[in-house]
Structure 1
Amino acid sequence: MPIMSRGARFDSSTVFSLPSLWSAGAAFWQRAFASDFAWKVGETFATRVFLIGAGVAASVMVARALGPEGRGLYAVAGALAGIGVQFGNLGLHSANTFFAARDRRLLPRLAGNSLAVSAVLGTVVVVALWGIALLRPDIAPLSGTLLLLTSLSIPVGLAYLLLQNLLIGVQEVRSFNRIEIVARLVSLTLIALVILEGTVSPAALFAAGVAASAVGLARVLMRIWRLAPCIPWPSPGLLRSHLVYGLKSYLACLFAYLVVRFDLLMVQHMLGARQAGYYSIAASMADLVYLLPSIIGTLLFPKLVARATREEKWRLTAGMSGLVLVLMTGVSGIAALFARPVIRLLFGPDFLPAAPAFVLLAIAMIFYGVNNIVSSYLASMSFPRFSVLIWIAACALNIGLNLFWIPAYGILGASLSSLVCYVLVLVAQVVYSARWHPGHAS
């Protein structure tokens, strides 16, 4: 869907430049931090930190209870369930947020579509898993009860993901966070009970996680019912629009994700497992640095969709981009400054070679963070094809740069490649957004 007519002319004096982003962020600062939005960002950030900590605790409990072999089977089940949900969602979680934010009266039909899609796509993935298990048991990663539980977890997890994003769309952020916390606490409690009962097995512990997801799903459905007390019913017409938007979002997010993930694969292929180990630490730490702008973008998106005019969307995007630029400059600067002592403390001195690569990735996260805000603006405008094509181009460029820079500069070359790609994507998205901004039309 084009943002404006092709007759619009570009005014170079009004380009959405990085200095202007900085100024906009400074002007936006006081108002932003006094808003309800800032409190929701803070609450969501605290929730994510809690979930990370609870996940580490659960991982330790499971590893100690099962040992290496049992932990491996548990991890494979979790990975298969995650892959099933990831490839089965088709970007519909983003579409749910978009359509719910645009018109909350669609909530019952969106919920009905989400449940129907979860059942159908979940069944397709489950049939594929069982087909492999029955036809080629020699290559099937799981069997028996654990495979059955993994199969059950995919439609449950898919429905949970899709319905959660309806809450984000109608800006029920506190309900979203509370449900996330409750589901994780249920999971931890059930894992502890299984261990205390002495009935420990990979299947029993994985069942605890499936039960927790089911509890979360039930609570989301209850909350949606309170918001729109109608029976969820699928709408094929709405689903078609849903899928078009979702697939564009899916492709853009996939290729953005692959930019840094291809780095790791190419480092392993060109430099070996040791250097890949160093780079994996740098990339994991960069993911933590990116946590804050990721949350801001998630919560900003429905607010942008709900804005009535492009001018209002643009103004909010400019201010929030400047704010994120200021915040991420500080966060990334501090993270880079303390990279070596943090790596030494958490991973040991053997992993210190990861520090220089992390410093470059921390700088890259500044641009990736601002990219996230500008991408939210474009997504709120029905996701133009440019938003997909730019990340496909960035992924291809990243691979090309890595072919030359990894052999020349080692893991620093991989980090530098990501940095260059994120800078170029940001410049391209800013110019594109400015080019089609309504105030620039002649």
Structure 2
Amino acid sequence: MAPNFARNTLLGALSGAAVTLSGFVGSAIAARLLGPDDLGVVAYVVWCVTIAAAVSIMGSDVVPQRYIPSLRAMGKDDEVDGLVGAVVWLAMLVAVAVGVVLFVYLDGSRGGALARLSSQAQIVVIVIAMTWFICWRMSDVYLFNLKGEQRFDTLARISTVSALLRVTTTVGGAWLFGIPGALAGNIAGTFIPASRIFPLLRKKPRVNRDLRRELVGFTMVSWTIAIIGNLVFGRTQIIFLEHYSTIGAVGLFAAALTLAEIAAQLPQLLLSALLPRFSEQSGQGAHDHMMRLYTTMTALMAMLMLPLCLGLAAIAPALIPLVFGSDFADAAPVASILLIALAFSSLGGTTLQLILSLGKKRILLISNAVGLAGVIVLGFGLIPRYGLMGAAWSRGIVMVLVILIEIVYAAALLGFHPPYRALGSIALAAVAQGAVAYAVVLNIGGAVSLVIAFPAAIITYLVALRLFGVMRLVDPELASRLISHVPDRAKPLASLILGPLSPPTTERAEQD
């Protein structure tokens, strides 16, 4: 991996980790302060704003990451400013139109999900939601432009400060003002990047005819996929639960999703620099480099995600009450199902970035359309009868199905095959450590079990990776190359973790 790609990956991961961690901490504390019912109201409003943001995104997320690096690589720097101006203005105009629809919908919800609030509180919640929506769109446009320009150092700084503002505002707001205060933290988390969009608005929209023709098709497909994808991978089951069950069930489901989604953010964090990198290599015609990068990153993601998800699923019965409080204990089995499904669906993260970089959007449209059909069919089929567990199984089945379609497409039609043997060995190691963690939690129980389960699971996993020779299957020299990119102060720790996973010297010699 090139040094700049490794650096961008680290910075992108740090920036995303700050945002994710702040959201998790804020949500966990807010859950304890609010309880399942009030948290259900917050989750409902968050879902509404999230869907509105997806509808208004209009390709402003992937277009900068797809085209700015490619245009830079081809030496077409003069076309970048015009492209940025076009993307920013279109995104803002669409946001205004969608904002009107969001206001009308939330105002109509005052007799439903918002009914437990006073009339004055309902107005305050709607105003906060509208403000957050506009700030979110402005923030996203600026941050995606930073990713397209591969300015991950700036991205990391802004994201870290924004994360601190978000978590402090969410906790303080929930403590002092309840539901409106908890929602206000989202505004604080987007204010700084949103305020930096104005220089981009001064760029004159200008795109040449050939690029415009390509952009129109790419943007429309991207937009459709974003909308469908948010319905598929968002919290759409909340709508079914709110209708067929109680607002308290929505709160329990939201708590389970919060734990699952913090794990789901890891691929996005570590792969934040992958789409620009793939796009750059695609512009250079470096197909072989793309293949090597794809297999390596897929294996690395599996080495992180499989043990993380299966381990969290195993300890969920002890972890959920500890983090969210005893009122949320019923969310533990829901979280376990979601995490097990996430363990398998996370293997498609690199495949998604690859498909986006190659502009093969139609398969994403097909896979997400199949997923949306699954959400609707399973939502009506499982949730009315099985409630919380029906929502968990509905979401889990759809997640795995969508990613499976994309992986099969990349292998069969694009010729990009995942490292099957390495993935199989990693899966066995992850299952072993999950079983150890579950046995500890089952037999000991409570918060004390977590103190034992964590180190026991980690040791089991590392030993299993060594026994199965996973690093040899992935890349015998990968560990040494990763250690070489680590800062000098952190190299002893990195060597302690990665060193035992490397093949012995004799094995490497035999590979040579």
Residue 422 (structure 1) aligns with? 399
Q: Structure 1, residues 207-246: CA drift from partner, whole Å, max 9, x if none? A: 9987985643454667x89xxxxx7220254555434323
Aligned to 2:272: 298
**Is 1:365 aligned with 2:365?**
no
Gaps of 5+ in 1: 1-27, 64-68, 195-199, 226-230
Which of these residues, 228, 244, 252, is aligned with residue 278 of structure 1? 252
CA–CA distance in structure 2, aligned partners of residues 210 and 246 of structure 1: 27
Contact 1:107/1:166, CA 8 A, preserved across alignment: no
- Where 1:160 maps in the other structure, the secondary structure is helix
Letter in 2 for 1:319: T
Alpha carbons 2:237, 2:391 under 8 Å: kept: yes
Contact 1:406/1:414 (CA < 8 Å) preserved in 2?
yes
Aligned to 1:89: 57
Deviation of the 1:48 alpha carbon: 2.2
In the TM superposition, 1:367-406 aligns within 5 A as: 367-406=344-383
2:321 corresponding residue in structure 1: 344
Deviation at 1:380, TM superposition (A): 0.9
Q: Quick one: structure 1 residues 149 and 264, their matched pair in 2 at CA, closer, same or farther if it must change by over 3 Å?
A: closer
**Identical-pair percentage:** 20
1:252 corresponds to which of 206, 216, 225? 225
Further displaced range: 420-429 or 238-247 = 238-247
Deviation at residue 378 of structure 1 after TM alignment: 0.7
Q: Are the aligned partners of 1:98 and 1:380 in contact in 2 as well (CA < 8 Å)?
A: yes
- Is the contact made by 1:294 and 1:369 (CA closer than 8 Å) also made in structure 2? no
Partner Cα separation in structure 1 for residue 203 and residue 330 of structure 2? 53
Give per-residue Cα distances to partners, 1:336-376, cap 9 Å, x unaligned: 12201111112333432222221111011112212222111
> Aligned in 2, Cα 1:38/1:82: closer, same or farther, shift over 3 Å?
closer
Q: From the superposition, tell whether residues 388 and 314 of structure 1 become closer, same or farther in structure 2 (CA, over 3 Å).
A: farther
TM-score, normalised relative to structure 2: 0.61
Q: Summarize the Cα distance change of 1:165–1:414 in structure 2 as closer, same or farther, 3 Å threshold.
A: same
Within the candidate set 271, 288, 292, 1:315 is matched to 292
Q: 3-state DSSP class of the match of 2:144?
A: helix
- CA 1:429 to 1:193, structure 2 compared with 1: closer, same or farther past 3 Å? closer
Structure 1 191/36 Cα, relative in aligned 2: closer, same or farther at 3 Å? Answer: closer
2:402 alignment partner AA: V
Matches within 5 A, 1:27-426: 35-49=6-20, 51-52=22-23, 85-104=53-72, 105=77, 106-125=79-98, 157-183=136-162, 213=190, 215-219=192-196, 232-237=203-208, 238=211, 241-259=214-232, 261-307=235-281, 308-309=284-285, 310-406=287-383, 410-426=387-403
Over the aligned positions, Cα root-mean-square deviation in angstroms equals: 4.9
What CA distance in whole angstroms lies between the structure 2 residues aligned with 1:388 and 1:99?
Answer: 20
Count of matched residue pairs: 395
**Further displaced range: 184-193 or 311-320:** 184-193
Matched residue type, 2:147: I
Structure 2: state its 5+ residue gaps. Answer: 113-118, 418-512
Contact 1:101 1:170 in 2 (8 A): yes
CA distance in 1, matches of 2:248, 2:183: 31
Aligned equivalents of 1:268 and 1:204: distance in 2?
Answer: 22
Q: Residues 287-319 of structure 1: CA distance to partner in whole angstroms, max 9, x if unpaired? A: 112110122233311111111334432332222
8 Å Cα contact 1:93/1:165 also seen in 2: yes
CA distance in 2 between partners of 1:421 and 1:206 (Å): 29
For residues 322 and 314 of structure 1, the distance between their equivalents in structure 2, rounded to whole angstroms, comes to 13
Q: Is the 8 A contact 2:12 2:155 kept in 1?
A: no
SS in 1 for 2:203: coil
Greater RCO (CA < 8 Å, at least 6 residues apart): 1
